Amino acid sequence: MPASRPASSRPAPTSGRRRGSWPVLRAVRRYFGFSRRETSGFVVLLGLIVLWLVLPRLLRPALPAYDPAPDQQQLNNWATELAARRTTRPAFASRYPRRGAVPQVALTPFDPNQLTATDWEARGLPSYVARRMVHYREVIGGFRAKEQIQRTYGLEPDLYARLAPYMQLPDQLPPREARSYPSRGPYPDRKPFEQTAGSRFPRKPTRLAAFDLNAADTTQLMQIRGIGRGYARRIIEYRQRLGGFQNKEQTAEIYALRDAPDLVDSLRKYTFVAPGFAPAMLDVNNASFEMLQAHPYVGKRLARVLVAFRQQHGPFRQPTDLRQIRILDQATFDKLAPYLELK
């Protein structure tokens, strides 16, 4: 048998306090898998958090007990002072003094044409309706029937129904008398469509001979039906800016006649362009910017480009040189070509 160890060489038994101490930490280590160092750090961190939460309460000074009696006394004093001011202060005087109520009168038969605004108010009408009633009576020259009073704006139907039985007027206006006219009119001796001597607008002729469009003045143009002084003046102005009409179709380009195709047809019907007519030419090499932009086929934008082009590249040698300008399309060039002159 092996020899038994001496009692002095056996390990001393662990104390019960160490074996069973900190069971919570052992459970945390076993659950989270912490090492001994991590567990110690966790305990320290937890202690700091608890200290952070408890420390403000420990360091906060003790507040004295609140006594509401002084504050309540101050509020009572202010309330007493306000009440005293309210009773001693004079009543507010309105900038616009309010009229006193008009005393009402008993309803008896009355003539609406004899009442003033105050009399209407005494019979129950509001002040603004009473003034409106008097003004309406003055405008129409007096009431002749109750239906005229009923039309007054703002008069309530129930108020009118209460006053209507006492109004000394008929309910409705008398019917109008039918007017009779002579079979031939008030002027039997005048012929139909005969122009009077004092007529303001002379009657235009029913048969009109064609006239030269480039030589006509406003008086000749106004002989065409539908063309007045304004249209005639605009036609003359456009002709002057254009330099003369090459054909009658150009009248449709006038801005004032764009929405009046019937007037354009009348111009084409009663006017003509003389054969061999030579319009006023436009010298694009020497004309100023103002002269160029005034032409209906040029305008401000093209005139600015024309002036800049001839300054950079010199004068135009032939009309087709203008086609080098990109903003000048073929349609505009075709209309402008008869008016071009190169010097």
Same structural domain for residues 210 and 264?
yes
Closest-CA residue to 226 (of 187, 263, 172, 279) = 263
Give me the domain span that covers residue 128.
112-166
Does residue 41 belong to any structural domain of this protein? no
Q: Name 133's Cβ contacts closer than 8 Å, sequence gap at least 6.
A: 112, 117, 120, 125, 149, 152, 155
226 CB contacts (<8 Å, ≥6 apart)? Answer: 260, 262, 263, 266
Assigned domain for 342 exists: yes
Question: Quick check: is 38 in a domain?
Answer: no
What is the per-residue pLDDT for 184? 52
* pLDDT at site 97: 45
pLDDT at residue 1 in the model = 44
CATH number for the domain spanning 339: value is 1.10.150
Residue 306 and residue 275 in one domain = no
Tell me, what's the pLDDT at 17? 45
**Could you say which of 279, 298, 327 is where a domain stops?**
279
Domain's final residue, options 166, 187, 212 = 166
The predicted pLDDT at position 40 comes to 83
The whole-number pLDDT of residue 49 equals 92
In a domain, 104, yes or no: no
Give the pLDDT band of residue 78 (cuts 50, 70, 90): very high
In a domain, 212, yes or no: yes
Q: Which residues contact 170 (CB under 8 A, 6 or more apart)?
A: 144, 145, 146
What total of structural domains would you count in the chain?
Answer: 3
The token pair that represents 75 in the structure block: 């509020």
Kindly report the CATH number assigned to the domain that includes residue 250.
1.10.150.320
Task: Write out pLDDT tens, residues 8-66.
Answer: 445 554 444 444 456 777 787 787 777 888 888 888 898 999 988 888 877 777 667 77
Position with higher pLDDT, 29 vs 295: 295
